[in-house]
């Protein structure tokens, strides 16, 4: 409280906000963020090396093993803990006997890939809409605000179903899901970008740039976008795990990724009736999903505080996202 | 204030109409022979054609939409064969699937959703604000770090994962709670609460996290504000500063977020309702979408959209009222 | 006349197809005997008590004109009496048709084109007024109205003038091909011989509807009862249905319905997990509970099997149903019989059965007709694939067909989680065919899209998953829609997926239809199935088995082969 | 025993030493002004009196006794008993210093109840009493209002009322009038003066404004970089300073002469140069001409005419000063003159290149770009592509505004406020303007820096024949730099004319009021002014 004020008065110059060094220093200083970064790196590695890992195990995600499940009792995996064995590290899927480890690592690809693509799309749309709304006149701003309202109020489910209906079935489903999530989830970023743009627009250095003779696009490029990078990155790193959850939710509801492509949400959707008969089948993707999202969230928090040590209270974000998937 | 409300209302109307157009358009192009579905798979082509005519499915999109608007604002008549069924404005039409009036259908589904939303809301507010308050009280200590960790974990968990885990633990392993079986409040309040406890807890656990974080951040922010310094300089104790001034300052954005969340929750907690089989609007939406039951989908989207838009407006008003510098104009 | 069960199950609500009986699981005779031994189900059934029915689908269309049932349905049959009905007995005996409102199964004319029924004496509605043959005629006419669509197509197809008749609201004159010379007699004039007419007369469309009480689409809110129970409460469009005794029903006129409980409380809109959870807990009112629409899924079965007490309360039944691969020979390379045969050889039925829920929920099938005597089951296996497929033979056939390096095909399936046409099954086939050098691409469609695509001659793919169920236990409604060339529908849903129009087959179908001796007819259906099977137009995969839980206090569990599920009219809770 | 006794007080924040070995004392009923520029450690010292550094990580050494309490040694409870009851503090920003969510009366009552066993009702009554005492009209009703329903001056009165609630022996006022307009500032200073006389409490006034100190205190302590420079009776220190720093500080303060000043206030060369540059042009060729321009914000009922029918002309080489209090529309007018805002109505003709120098040295430069790049902006925007040419020109401009050309690649945060304003001027110059609008260009700067920057502007004007529009709230600064001056109030120009004429013989009552409110450096003069204000208020 008084400290900041006094320190400032005392001439204590704050560490500069620019430059990469303090960012990395601050990020490294947070042990939780470091651990999270390692976990995330590991997950990305798993996703990238999925076929390799499954190969090491000697399994693939699609082969049926009818002999590994007890057909008479509804297809429960034979053996304890869902059939965990030297051949099947995480056991096998009920009914089909497909190898769970192979499916889970392949699922990582889909889950992370879809979320990454969706996040990128959200950032692009969000920044675009936010910038145009922030820079445009009142009419443009109002129109875009209304469009944003519509998007916010539209259930993801309906969009997903609509899109599934319109897009030919041959179209790769993960791409489609990424596009859908991207199309419905950009309002947060656009709101932030718009607000920041409006705030920045009134700053004197932007006025000065205008007086220098630059046009709108040049001003956006030179004065606004660099300043928007920090809040956008901060928001995006928290959107990423949220998007993983949205993908899982859509798949869970049966409008997302379709078998045989494994994704964690889709595995959960298959597993949800098995909570009594084969709990490991449910727990494995659930835990992975949890760990991934947690690691990404912690990392996102770290990045956020490292980008702007005082951001915590300024950017109240990551709050409504998850429930949006729920609505 | 009056103008602000009127403008918000206008905006909301626009949003809702735009929503209905989007849904109409999406379903117009969607596959699924609606008349065939409504008539039954073994209907003859002639019968399908009759049904199609009855549902105005042969009309161009804009005519269908016009009929919809007519029903919405004036009401519509439907033939029952022996007589006429007048569907009063706002008439959202009849379900293709069950012939039931969509308005009635949605009204029938709302209590379950409202029960879920309100109960969960109370729980997560208590949990969230309490946790936030505690972590401010204990700031800088281990308690705060642990609480921060827990809230992060809460944010990271999708509701269906938490829900499934709770089912495994509380229903299967410990057998403390029943698998939820919605009982209306009017029928048996005790059973109502008992059966909704699990979904409430699940929702509260995942929803409380943002509140805890926001309460904490917002209180810390308030504690750093000048007026807190004033009261400190006048000998007011830390406890009173946190409890009276910081909490009051932090509450506004928290309540605004709460309004937003409960609004979208009223719009149907699709995942929670699907997971726990609660017969609310969210599950109805999933069903209707899967059955291409356009009137029901449009009706539900309008109702849920209405709640979301309403919640947004309420949240804005609360925010603006909280931020006393902003004048509602 | 057969029920397209796949569709019906999926689109059930939308299509007003009542799956209550057809798509439902049941308890088989063996099990009901087991349960007599241990659970609370022992002892003589007595009258009284309240039977709770826990269902997922609401009784949205509780109108006899709109219901699509096999044999009159389960809950509907408590309220609606029909000209004939199914025999309420365990197992194969239950696959017989018996008289209900009528005194007998009907008197056919020589070539079975005119059927005459006489009503029993003393039949009354719930308000005490007498049931007349005119009311039955009116009930049937109602089912032609577009407002009340949803029923089976047979009346429309068989009755003279049925194809053009628009129902009593538009066409006040009525349908001439139904005559009611007096209040007790009703005569049907058919446009072709139909020996199975008594089966058709079990459907709810032959329920009497008093014209004065008809409220069109609103009739479903309180249909006038002719059966042992009447509707006293109907809320939420059939979500909560309470039935109580109909004082004017006389047990003397009804040999089939036992009607032990005083009250039936039907609660629907429940999640299937909730239903099974409540039935297994069997607490309070749930002890006297059954379900008429919710089967045990594989995961639940796995849990139930582990618990002896629970296992004793599982009813198992067989409803005539076959899941199969359908080919459209108009699409290459499926025009080549060798390709179809190769695929027939390559399928791995044990994987498929597992994917469908395991051997307790699905039985491998090599014949198109269900393995029940009533259908005329004749065992055959033209392309023996063994337990897990004969890849070598398949490859050999492919080579002969001109695909020595294998083949790439697309398999269309639905995205529903129904363990029938669902992705798991498609993937199981994909895996099996891979071993024979056939690369299968999967095309998963959302349910409505799937039905529209697959059951439409214009968009029908060459290779897809399908299924077919019985409208009544006979070869007629099961076999003909799939293989009768006259039943290829150009506009609208077409189930003759192979678009087979073989004069010899058509002729044989016509000849069997003339038979009024049903067991003789069954034999010929079986022989015809075996013959058509040689063409490999379908690859039968499995017949599903229905397993359902019932409460501890439930007695007198009867599961017929007709419905495959517990018959609610026989259940006692005291 | 003295009311306040501070000896060898040192305060450090981490590595930064804010206050070093400061000693002073204040007798009961006395008034001490602590004067210094930003960074002098004056506020930190004041905060230390109430132990407000406790728990913040700041290191406080030395001894502090306030009203008999040893602040450094006291436990939390003792400290709380001191705060508010024996020594009360009034803060700079009256809006943010009150809790926005509670009624003003409740907040005062809360403070009262911390220190007195009193019922809620009694405390409320006390709150109304003190509000009435500080001159809040209709105190009973207004005590139920929340802070944002008060004007700035009323809020500061309310804060003072809160301070009075427990009848403290010492009032610490930290820049109590800095956020206020000059007329309001005068009222608050008068209030403090009267209160002190009536209650006999001691006053410690912290301010950067020598004039404010001159108006209010008996003794002055001048601080620089955490150390005391000079201390003595206000009449001596401000009239005849002994220390060189005090002398520089006082010399830098812009003044308004009591009488119509001789034109030598402005360097004579200034005017001479202009006339040399083109006698016939000066005062003849209008560079910018505004006729009845209006700028309206908002729609419907909430319409606000920020600028409401202003006509003015700026000619080559001249300096037009625009003064006004906050909300007078002067900034909006400036923005219209350069073209950042289009007038809602009226005619505005620009016949020359116009640039602007902004108020806030922090936000006027993009923190992510080097100052050289910022200065180069107008060159690049005008299509210059040759890097060498750009660099050379920028270095030239930097040199011109008194910066080291080698600092081309440095970032704004590495510069002080004054240097950043120089960068801003260089950027404006890069576009080769004929007119520069300076919007409060020196308001955020300390007086010494302020003097340097105004000198630079004057020099550039001389060398380049620039016209200047100098917008400021500070009448003295405007007086110093302008040829002509326009006084704005509520979007209109109430008076316009030659500087000497407007300041020497104001015709408009508002102008008179403004001029009377300006604090005088001379304590004697201050007393005269106070009397004059009373008259004006009474009239």
Q: Which chain B residue lies closest to D299 (C-alpha atoms)?
A: B329
For residues D31 and D233, give the distance between their C-alpha atoms in angstroms, rounded to a whole number: 10
Kindly tell me if the per-residue pLDDT of B60 is higher than 90.
Answer: no
For residues C120 and C113, give the distance between their C-alpha atoms in angstroms, rounded to a whole number: 23
Q: Which residues of D touch A204 (CB under 8 A)?
A: 358-360, 363-364
Name the maximum alpha-carbon separation found in chain B. Answer: 87
Residue B267 banded pLDDT, cuts 50, 70, 90: low
Pick from D355, D363, D382: which is nearest to A205 by CB?
A: D363
Mean pLDDT, chain D, whole residue set:
85
CB A17 within 8 A of CB D367: yes
Q: Which residues of D touch B233 (CB under 8 A)?
A: 50, 52, 83-84, 88-89, 91
Distance (Å) from the C-alpha of residue B126 to the closest C-alpha of chain D?
Answer: 22
Spacing of C-alpha B149 from chain mean position: 27
CB A6 within 8 A of CB D47: yes
Coil, strand or helix: which one is D86?
A: coil
Mutate which of A21, A208, A213 to test chain D, going by most D C-beta atoms within 10 A?
Answer: A208
For residues D228 and D36, give the distance between their C-alpha atoms in angstroms, rounded to a whole number: 9
CB B182 within 8 A of CB B217: no
CB C7 within 8 A of CB C455: yes
CB D310 within 8 A of CB D293: yes
Torsion of CA C371, C374, C375, C379, to 10 degrees: 40
CB C528 within 8 A of CB C509: yes
Pick from C355, C415, C444: which is nearest to A95 by CB?
A: C355
Q: Which chain A residue lies closest to C387 (C-alpha atoms)?
A: A66
Q: DSSP alpha helices (H): ranges in chain A?
A: 2-9, 20-29, 31-48, 50-57, 100-135, 138-153, 156-166, 173-184, 187-201, 204-212, 216-219, 225-253, 264-271, 279-307, 311-314, 321-326
A159 and B26: CB-CB below 8 Å?
A: yes
Distance (Å) from the C-alpha of residue C256 to the closest C-alpha of chain A?
Answer: 35
Mutate which of A67, A72, A74, A259 to test chain C, going by most C C-beta atoms within 10 A?
Answer: A74
Q: DSSP alpha helices (H): ranges in D292-438?
A: 330-338, 371-381, 387-400, 417-430
Percent of chain D with pLDDT over 90: 21
CB C374 within 8 A of CB C70: no
CB A66 within 8 A of CB C354: yes
Q: How far is CA C459 from CA C451, C485, C492, C500, in A?
A: 10, 18, 11, 17
Q: DSSP alpha helices (H): ranges in D89-181?
A: 104-115, 120-133, 139-142, 152-164
D44 and A14: CB-CB below 8 Å?
A: no
Residue A200 contacts D where some CB pair is shorter than 8 Å: no
Coil, strand or helix: which one is C207?
A: coil
B54 and C146: CB-CB below 8 Å?
A: yes
Bigger pLDDT: D478 or A87?
D478
Distance (Å) from the C-alpha of residue D310 to the closest C-alpha of chain B?
Answer: 27
pLDDT for the residue B2: 67
For residues B182 and D167, give the distance between their C-alpha atoms in angstroms, rounded to a whole number: 64
In terms of C-beta density within 10 A (0-12 exposed, 13-18 middle, 19 or more buried), how is residue B217 classed?
Answer: buried
For D177-203, what is the mean pLDDT? Answer: 87
Least confidently predicted of B72-81, C124-133, C557-566, D477-486:
B72-81
Q: Is C237 left (phi over 0), alpha (psi -120 to 50) or beta?
A: left
For residues A58 and C265, give the distance between their C-alpha atoms in angstroms, rounded to a whole number: 55
pLDDT in tens, D17-49: 889 899 999 988 889 999 988 888 888 899 889
For residues B305 and A150, give the distance between their C-alpha atoms in angstroms, rounded to a whole number: 8
Distance (Å) from the C-alpha of residue A127 to the closest C-alpha of chain B?
Answer: 22
Q: How far is CA D207 from CA D177, D225, D448, D526, D527, in A?
A: 9, 15, 15, 16, 19
For residues A2 and D56, give the distance between their C-alpha atoms in angstroms, rounded to a whole number: 8
Pick from A96, A165, A273: which is nearest to C355 by CB?
A: A96
Q: Which residues of B touch C218 (CB under 8 A)?
A: 80, 83, 85
Most confident of B65-69, C204-208, D354-358: C204-208
Strand partners, D472: D323
Query: Which among C265, A44, A290 is positioned nearest to B165, based on CA atoms?
Result: A290
Cis ω for the linkage preceding B90 (within 30 of 0)? yes
Coil, strand or helix: which one is C567?
A: coil
For residues B123 and D462, give the distance between their C-alpha atoms in angstroms, rounded to a whole number: 72
Strand partners, C539: C325
A9 and D431: CB-CB below 8 Å?
A: no
Most confident of A184-198, B150-164, C196-210, D133-147: C196-210
Using only the alpha carbons of chain C, give its radius of gyration.
Answer: 23
pLDDT for the residue A74: 78
Q: Which residues of C touch B50 (CB under 8 A)?
A: 146, 149, 166
C13 and B47: CB-CB below 8 Å?
A: no
For residues C430 and C442, give the distance between their C-alpha atoms in angstroms, rounded to a whole number: 8
Write out residues in chain A with pLDDT < 70, as ranges. 1-23, 25-29, 157-158, 161-162, 165-166, 169, 308-327
pLDDT for the residue C2: 34
Q: Which residues of A touch C353 (CB under 8 A)?
A: 71
Residue D465: partners with Cβ closer than 8 Å, 6 or more residues away = D274, D277, D278, D316, D317, D434
Torsion of CA D182, D186, D187, D193, to 10 degrees: 150
For D319-331, what is the mean pLDDT? Answer: 89
- Whether there are 3 or more C-beta pairs closer than 8 Å between C and A is yes
Coil, strand or helix: which one is B132?
A: helix
Q: Which residues of A touch B117 (CB under 8 A)?
A: none
- Whether there are 3 or more C-beta pairs closer than 8 Å between C and D is no
Q: Which residues of B touch A275 (CB under 8 A)?
A: 164, 167-168, 172
**Strands in C46-196 per DSSP E:** 50-54, 84-86, 97-99, 107-108, 114-118, 178-182, 185-189
For D104-133, what is the mean pLDDT? Answer: 91
pLDDT for the residue C283: 82
For residues C484 and C528, give the distance between their C-alpha atoms in angstroms, rounded to a whole number: 11
pLDDT for the residue A157: 67
For residues C362 and C547, give the distance between their C-alpha atoms in angstroms, rounded to a whole number: 11
Please state the length of chain B. 329
Q: What domains does chain B contain, in order, with CATH numbers?
A: 1-102 (no CATH), 106-327 (1.10.3720.10)
DSSP annotation of A83 reads T
Cis ω for the linkage preceding A260 (within 30 of 0)? yes
pLDDT for the residue A317: 30
For residues C413 and C392, give the distance between their C-alpha atoms in angstroms, rounded to a whole number: 26
Bigger pLDDT: D496 or B255?
D496
pLDDT for the residue D539: 63
Distance (Å) from the C-alpha of residue A176 to the closest C-alpha of chain C?
Answer: 14
Output the 3-class SS for A244-269.
HHHHHHHHHHCCCCCCCCCCHHHHHH
Buried/exposed C393-414: b ≥16 CB within 10 Å, e otherwise: bbbebbeebebeeebebbbbbb
Write out residues in chain C with pLDDT < 70, as ranges. 1-43
pLDDT for the residue A21: 55
pLDDT in tens, D254-272: 877 654 444 444 443 344 3
Backbone angles phi, psi at B174, to 5 degrees: -90, -20
């Amino acid at each position: 409280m008084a400290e900041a004020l006094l320190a400032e008065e005392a001439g204590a110059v704050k560490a500069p906000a620019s430059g990469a060094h303090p960012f990395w220093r601050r990020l490294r200083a947070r042990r939780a963020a470091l651990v999270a970064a390692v976990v995330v790196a590991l997950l990305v590695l798993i996703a990238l090396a999925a076929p390799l890992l499954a190969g090491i195990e000697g399994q693939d995600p699609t082969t049926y093993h009818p002999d590994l499940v007890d057909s008479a009792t509804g297809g429960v995996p034979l053996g304890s803990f869902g059939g965990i064995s030297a051949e099947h590290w995480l056991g096998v899927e009920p009914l089909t006997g497909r190898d769970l480890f192979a499916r889970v690592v392949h699922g990582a690809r889909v889950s992370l890939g879809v979320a990454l693509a969706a996040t990128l799309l959200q950032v692009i749309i969000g920044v675009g809409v936010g910038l145009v709304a922030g820079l445009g006149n009142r009419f443009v701003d109002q129109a875009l605000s209304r469009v944003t309202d519509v998007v916010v109020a539209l259930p993801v489910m309906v969009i997903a179903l609509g899109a599934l209906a319109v897009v030919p079935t041959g179209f790769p489903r993960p791409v489609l899901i990424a596009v859908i999530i991207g199309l419905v989830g950009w309002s947060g970023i656009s709101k932030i970008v718009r607000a920041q743009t409006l705030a920045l627009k009134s700053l004197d250095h932007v006025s000065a740039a205008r007086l220098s003779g630059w046009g709108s696009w040049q001003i956006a490029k030179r004065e606004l976008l660099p300043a928007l990078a920090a809040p956008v990155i901060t928001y995006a790193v928290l959107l990423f795990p949220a998007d993983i959850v949205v993908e899982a939710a859509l798949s869970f509801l049966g409008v997302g990724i379709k078998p045989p492509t494994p994704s964690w949400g889709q595995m959960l959707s298959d597993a949800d009736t098995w909570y009594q008969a084969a709990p490991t089948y449910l727990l494995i993707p659930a835990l992975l999903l949890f760990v991934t999202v947690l690691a990404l969230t912690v990392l996102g928090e770290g990045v956020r505080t490292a980008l702007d040590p005082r951001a915590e209270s300024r950017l109240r974000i990551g709050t409504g996202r998850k429930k949006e998937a729920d609505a | 204030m009056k103008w602000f409300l009127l403008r918000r209302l206008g905006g909301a109307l626009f949003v809702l109409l735009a929503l209905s157009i989007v849904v109409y358009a999406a379903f117009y192009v969607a596959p699924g022979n609606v008349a065939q579905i409504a008539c039954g798979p073994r209907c003859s082509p002639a019968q399908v054609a009759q049904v199609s005519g009855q549902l105005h499915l042969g009309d161009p999109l804009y005519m269908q939409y016009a009929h919809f608007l007519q029903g919405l604002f004036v009401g519509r008549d439907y033939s029952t064969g022996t007589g006429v069924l007048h569907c009063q404005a706002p008439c959202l039409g009849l379900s293709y699937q069950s012939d039931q009036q969509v308005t009635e259908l949605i009204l029938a589904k709302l209590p379950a959703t409202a029960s879920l939303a309100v109960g969960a809301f109370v729980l997560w507010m208590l949990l969230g604000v309490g946790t936030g308050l505690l972590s401010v009280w204990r700031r800088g200590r281990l308690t705060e770090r642990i609480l921060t960790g827990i809230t992060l974990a809460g944010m990271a968990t999708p509701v269906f994962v938490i829900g499934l885990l709770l089912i495994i633990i509380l229903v299967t392993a410990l057998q403390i709670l029943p698998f939820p079986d919605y009982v209306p409040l009017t029928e048996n309040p005790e059973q109502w609460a008992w059966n909704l406890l699990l979904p409430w807890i699940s929702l509260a656990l995942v929803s409380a996290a943002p509140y805890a974080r926001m309460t904490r951040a917002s209180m810390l922010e308030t504690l750093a504000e000048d007026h807190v310094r004033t009261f400190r300089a006048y000998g007011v104790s830390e406890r009173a500063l946190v409890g009276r001034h910081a909490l009051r300052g932090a509450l506004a954005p928290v309540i605004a977020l709460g309004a937003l969340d409960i609004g979208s929750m009223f719009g149907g907690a699709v995942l929670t309702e699907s997971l726990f089989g609660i017969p609310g609007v969210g599950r109805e939406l999933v069903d209707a979408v899967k059955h291409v039951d356009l009137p029901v989908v449009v009706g539900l989207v309008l109702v849920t959209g209405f709640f979301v838009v309403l919640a947004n407006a309420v949240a804005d008003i609360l925010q603006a009222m909280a931020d006393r510098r902003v004048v509602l104009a | 006349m057969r029920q397209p069960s796949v569709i019906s199950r999926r689109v059930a609500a939308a299509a007003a197809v009542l799956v209550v009986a057809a798509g439902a699981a049941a308890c088989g005779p063996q099990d009901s005997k087991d349960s007599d031994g241990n659970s609370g189900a022992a002892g003589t059934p007595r009258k009284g008590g309240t039977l709770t029915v826990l269902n997922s689908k609401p009784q949205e269309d509780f109108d006899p004109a709109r219901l699509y049932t096999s044999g009159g349905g389960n809950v509907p049959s408590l309220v609606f009496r029909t000209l004939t009905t199914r025999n309420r007995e365990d197992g194969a005996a239950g696959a017989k048709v018996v008289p209900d409102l009528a005194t007998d199964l009907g008197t056919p004319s020589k070539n079975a084109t005119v059927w005459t029924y006489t009503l029993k004496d003393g039949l009354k509605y719930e308000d005490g007024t007498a049931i007349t043959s005119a009311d039955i005629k009116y009930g049937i006419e109602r089912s032609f109205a577009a407002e009340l669509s949803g029923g089976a197509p047979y009346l429309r197809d068989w009755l003279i003038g049925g194809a053009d008749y628009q129902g009593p609201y538009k066409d006040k004159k009525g349908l001439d091909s139904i005559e009611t010379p007096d209040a007790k007699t009703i005569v049907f004039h058919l446009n072709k011989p139909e020996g199975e007419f008594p089966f058709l007369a079990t459907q709810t469309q032959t329920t009497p509807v008093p014209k004065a009480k008809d409220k069109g689409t609103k009739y479903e809110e309180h249909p006038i009862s002719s059966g042992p129970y009447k509707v006293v409460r109907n809320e939420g469009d059939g979500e909560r249905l309470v039935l109580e005794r109909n004082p004017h029903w006389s047990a003397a006129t009804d040999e089939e319905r036992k009607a032990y409980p005083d009250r039936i409380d039907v609660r629907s809109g429940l999640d299937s997990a909730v239903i099974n959870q409540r039935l297994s807990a069997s607490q309070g009112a749930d002890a006297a509970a059954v379900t008429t629409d919710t089967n045990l899924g594989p995961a639940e079965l796995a849990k139930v099997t582990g618990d002896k007490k629970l296992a004793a309360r599982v009813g198992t039944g067989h409803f005539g149903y076959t899941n199969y691969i359908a080919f459209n020979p108009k699409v290459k390379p499926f025009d080549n019989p060798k390709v179809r045969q190769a695929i027939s050889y390559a399928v791995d039925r044990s994987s498929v059965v597992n994917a469908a829920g395991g051997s307790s929920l699905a039985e491998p099938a090599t014949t198109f007709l269900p393995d029940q005597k009533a259908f005329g089951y004749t065992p055959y296996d033209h392309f023996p694939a063994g337990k897990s497929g004969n890849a070598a033979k398949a490859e050999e056939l492919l080579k002969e067909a001109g695909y020595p390096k294998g083949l790439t095909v697309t398999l269309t399936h639905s995205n529903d989680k129904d363990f029938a046409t669902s992705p798991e099954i498609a993937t199981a086939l994909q895996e099996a065919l891979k071993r024979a050098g056939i690369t299968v691409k999967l095309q998963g469609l959302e349910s409505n899209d799937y039905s529209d695509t697959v059951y439409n001659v214009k968009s029908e793919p060459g290779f897809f998953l399908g299924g077919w169920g019985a409208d009544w236990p006979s070869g007629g409604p099961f076999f003909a829609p799939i293989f009768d060339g006259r039943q290829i529908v150009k506009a609208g849903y077409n189930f003759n997926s192979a678009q087979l129009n073989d004069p010899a087959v058509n002729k044989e179908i016509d000849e069997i239809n003339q038979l009024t001796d049903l067991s003789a007819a069954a034999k010929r259906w079986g022989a015809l199935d075996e013959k058509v099977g040689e063409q490999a137009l379908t690859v039968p995969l499995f017949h599903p088995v229905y397993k359902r839980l019932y409460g501890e206090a439930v007695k007198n569990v009867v599961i017929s082969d007709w419905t495959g599920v517990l018959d609610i009219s026989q259940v006692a809770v005291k | 025993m003295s009311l306040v006794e501070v000896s060898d007080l040192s305060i450090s924040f981490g590595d930064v030493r804010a206050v070093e070995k400061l000693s002073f004392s204040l007798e009961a009923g006395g008034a001490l002004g602590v004067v210094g520029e930003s960074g002098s450690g004056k506020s930190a010292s004041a905060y230390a009196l109430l132990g407000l550094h406790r728990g913040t990580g700041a290191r406080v050494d030395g001894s502090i006794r306030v009203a008999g309490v040893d602040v450094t040694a006291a436990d939390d409870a003792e400290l709380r008993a001191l705060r508010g009851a024996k020594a009360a503090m009034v803060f700079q920003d009256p809006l943010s210093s009150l809790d926005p969510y509670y009624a003003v009366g409740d907040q005062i009552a809360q403070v009262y109840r911390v220190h007195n066993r009193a019922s809620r009702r009694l405390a409320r009554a006390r709150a109304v009493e003190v509000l009435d005492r500080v001159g809040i009209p209709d105190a009973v009703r207004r005590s139920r209002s929340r802070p944002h329903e008060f004007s700035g001056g009323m809020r500061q009165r309310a804060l003072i009322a809160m301070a009075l609630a427990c009848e403290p022996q010492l009032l610490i006022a930290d820049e109590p009038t800095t956020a206020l307009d000059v007329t309001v500032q005068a009222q608050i200073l008068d209030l403090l003066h009267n209160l002190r006389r009536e209650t006999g409490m001691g006053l410690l006034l912290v301010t950067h404004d020598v004039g404010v100190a001159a108006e209010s205190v008996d003794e002055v302590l001048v601080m620089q970089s955490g150390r005391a420079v000079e201390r003595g009776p206000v009449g001596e220190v401000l009239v005849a300073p002994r220390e060189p720093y005090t002398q520089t500080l006082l010399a830098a303060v812009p003044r308004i002469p009591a009488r119509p000043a001789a034109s030598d206030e402005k360097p004579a060369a200034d005017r001479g140069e202009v006339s040399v540059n083109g006698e016939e042009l000066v005062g003849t060729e209008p560079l910018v001409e505004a006729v009845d321009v209006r700028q309206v914000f908002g729609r419907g009922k909430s319409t606000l005419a920020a600028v409401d029918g202003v006509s003015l002309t700026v000619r080559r080489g001249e300096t037009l000063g625009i003064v006004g209090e906050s909300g007078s529309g002067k900034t909006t007018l400036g923005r219209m003159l350069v073209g950042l805002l289009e007038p809602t109505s009226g005619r505005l003709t620009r016949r020359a290149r116009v640039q602007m120098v902004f108020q806030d040295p922090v936000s006027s430069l993009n923190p992510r770009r080097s100052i050289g790049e910022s200065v180069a902006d107008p060159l690049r925007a005008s299509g210059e592509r040759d890097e060498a040419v750009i660099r050379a020109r920028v270095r030239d401009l930097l040199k011109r505004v008194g910066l080291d050309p080698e600092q081309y690649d440095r970032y704004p945060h590495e510069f002080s406020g004054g240097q950043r304003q120089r960068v801003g001027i260089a950027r404006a110059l890069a576009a080769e303007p004929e007119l520069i609008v300076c919007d409060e260009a020196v308001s955020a700067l300390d007086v010494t820096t302020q003097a340097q920057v105004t000198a630079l502007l004057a020099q550039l004007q001389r060398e380049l024949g620039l016209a200047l529009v100098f917008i400021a709230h500070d009448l003295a600064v405007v007086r110093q730099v302008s040829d002509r001056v326009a006084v704005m109030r509520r979007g209109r120009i109430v008076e316009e004319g030659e500087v000497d004429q407007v300041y020497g013989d104001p015709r408009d009552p508002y102008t008179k009021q403004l001029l009377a409110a300006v604090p005088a450096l001379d304590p004697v003069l201050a007393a005269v002014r106070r009397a004059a204000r009373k008259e004006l208020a009474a009239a």
